[in-house]
Amino acid sequence: MRAAMMAALLWTLPAASMAAPDAQAWAQWQQQQQQQTLHEAYPNPRTPGQPWVKVGVRSQTLSVFSAEGTLEKRYDISTAKRGVGETQNSYQTPRGWHRICEKIGDGAASDTIIFRREVTPWKYTPELHAEYPNKDWILTRILWLCGQEPGVNQGSREDGVVVDSYARFIYIHGAGRHVPMGTPTSLGCVRMTSEAVIELFERTPVGMEVLIDENG
């Protein structure tokens, strides 16, 4: 494959440039080409040419892809303990295409408690968690998701059951240090470490598409 690519490249070069190549430089160029690693690309399957995020439920990872489909960053996450599902009050992580509708917490310190989508002056600590061990802490940043598939994760089904991810308050958000990443433990949201969600917050604008893939 590399030999064919090199031959094609040579065919397109002007004759003058092929007259007397520097042997050492040519050898170095060949070695560089052989050492280059080819990376797989995963372009946005919904909106080609746009960057996107993929939440893999099976792998418990969140991947950020560039407009060209290059993997820019991958994070360990935690999705719902009850698995996947779209219905209201199911405490499950919804599947399918979403987008980031709102971002909350810009500039807040790591481990800042966010309560009812308001940044508070309080911070999470292990001692606070010990006092309230069953509390679902929402920390540091929120990326609030809107479903993009009517009747699946947006609005309601034909039977009237609500399946709206935005109305269900499905977030990507920071979690306490007691949360084991790589294991499903949440009440429906996508949990990340505070450090990771700060970085993701900076990488992803409002409107960016997010695919939650059950088998990913």
pLDDT at 193: 98
Share of the chain above pLDDT 90, in %: 81
Q: How many CB atoms lie within 10 A of CB 183?
A: 14
Q: What are the tens digits of pLDDT across the range 45-73?
A: 999 999 999 999 999 999 999 999 999 99
- Residue range 173-183: average pLDDT? 96
| Confidence class for position 123, pLDDT limits 50, 70, 90 | very high
Residue 64, both tokens: 């950020």
Q: What are the tens digits of pLDDT across the range 88-106?
A: 999 999 999 999 999 999 9
Q: Which single residue is written with the structure tokens 């698995």? A: 83
pLDDT at 40: 86
Q: What are the tens digits of pLDDT across the range 15-44?
A: 333 344 566 765 665 565 455 456 789 999
| Confidence class for position 10, pLDDT limits 50, 70, 90 | very low
Share of the chain above pLDDT 70, in %: 83
Residue 187 vs residues 47, 116, 134, 209: alpha-carbon distances, Å:
29, 15, 11, 22
Handedness of CA 64, 69, 71, 76 (dihedral sign): positive
Instruction: Name the residue ranges covered by the structural domains of the chain.
Output: 2-35, 52-213
State how far the Cα of 215 lies from the Cα of 159, in Å rounded to an integer. Answer: 27
pLDDT at 188 over 90: yes
User: What is the per-residue burial (b if ≥16 Cβ within 10 Å, else e) of 144-165?
Assistant: bbbbbbeebbbeeeeeeeebbb
**For strand 139-147 and strand 190-192, is the pairing parallel, antiparallel, or unpaired?**
unpaired
State how far the Cα of 77 lies from the Cα of 193, in Å rounded to an integer. Answer: 8
SS3 of residue 75 by DSSP: strand
Quick one: fold of 52-213?
A: L,D-transpeptidase catalytic domain-like (2.40.440)
pLDDT at 167: 98
pLDDT at 11 over 60: no
Q: What are the tens digits of pLDDT across the range 161-171?
A: 999 999 999 99
Q: To the nearest whole number, what is the mean pLDDT of the chain?
A: 88
- Residue range 117-137: average pLDDT? 95
| Confidence class for position 113, pLDDT limits 50, 70, 90 | very high
CB within 8 Å of 177: residues ≥ 6 apart: 124, 126, 193
